Amino acid sequence: MEDSVSLNDFYPETSATAYWLICEVENVTVGVISVHYENKTSVKIHPCLLSGYRSHSRRMIIELFKWLVKMGGEMQKVNISIPKTRRIVYNLAKNVGFKDEGVNRMSFTKNGKTHDQWLLGLTRKEIRGML
pLDDT digits (tens, 9 = 90+) for 61-108: 999 999 999 987 899 999 999 999 999 999 999 999 999 999 999 999
Residue 98 lies in a domain: yes
Mean pLDDT score across all residues of the chain: 91
1 pLDDT more than 60: no
- d(Cα 96, Cα 87) in Å, to the nearest integer? 14
Residue 111 lies in a domain: yes
Residue 2 lies in a domain: no
- Count CB neighbours of 93 within 10 A: 23
Domain count, the chain: 1
Q: pLDDT at position 10, please?
A: 59
56-67 burial, b if ≥16 CB within 10 A, otherwise e?
bbeebbeebbee
Kindly give, in sequence order, each residue whose CB lies less than 8 Å from that of residue 35, ignoring residues fewer than 6 positions away. 18, 19, 20, 21, 43, 44, 45, 64, 68
For the chain, where are the E strands, in sequence order? Answer: 18-25, 28-37, 42-49, 77-83, 99-110, 113-123
Q: pLDDT at position 13, please?
A: 63
Q: pLDDT at position 3, please?
A: 67
Average pLDDT over residues 8-24: 79
Residue 88 lies in a domain: yes
Residue 55 lies in a domain: yes
Backbone dihedral angles phi then psi of residue 117, each to the nearest 5 degrees: -125, 140
Domain enclosing residue 32, as ranges: 7-130
Residue 15 lies in a domain: yes
Residue 36 lies in a domain: yes
- d(Cα 18, Cα 27) in Å, to the nearest integer? 24
What CATH number is given to the structural domain containing 77?
Answer: 3.40.630.30
- d(Cα 80, Cα 90) in Å, to the nearest integer? 10
Residue 1 lies in a domain: no
Among the ranges 15-19, 71-75, 121-125, which has the highest mean pLDDT value?
Answer: 121-125
Helix/strand/coil for 124? helix
